Amino acid sequence: MKKYFVFFIFFAALGSCTYDSKSLSDGPPEDCVPETVTFTKDIQPLMNTYCTGCHGNTFPSAGLSLVTYAQVRDATENGNLLVRTQLPSSNPQSMPPSAGLSDCKNEILQAWVAQGFVEN
């Protein structure tokens, strides 16, 4: 009897495991991008987390600093930042080098551009 009970519990637990019906390849969740994206609230923390370790003020890698609003806006306007963050991790030019930004983070960057590079 104990065997059947353990078997039942195992299959009940297994059957209760579910995955979100939305595939990971379907892109970012709809609520990923805030209604208004600003540099101070959304972009600067993203840069601080993923970019300024190498692209900071003192000795920025490749001569590119991504600390200030003007620096990030310039890198985004010339298209280089958006292109490099969307490259697959297998590409040696992918940024950050360990893997490009997630779909969600790229959507936030693209929304910032579309909304006119709002600063605050």
Domain count, the chain: 1
- Would you say residue 82 lies in a domain? yes
- Would you say residue 56 lies in a domain? yes
- Would you say residue 3 lies in a domain? no
Nearest one of 60, 43, 44, 53 to 110, comparing CA atoms: 43
- Would you say residue 26 lies in a domain? no
DSSP string covering 49-85: HHTTTTSSSSS-GGG----SHHHHHHHHHTSHHHHHH
Kindly report the pTM of this predicted structure: 0.71
Which residue's structure tokens are 């003192």?
Answer: 58
- Would you say residue 40 lies in a domain? yes
- Would you say residue 92 lies in a domain? yes
Report percent pLDDT > 90 for the chain.
51
> Does the pLDDT value for residue 19 go beyond 60?
no
What are the residues whose beta carbons fall under 8 Å from the beta carbon of 82, sequence distance 6 or more? Answer: 76, 106, 109, 110, 113
- Would you say residue 27 lies in a domain? no
Q: Residue 31 and residue 27: Cα distance in Å, rounded?
A: 11
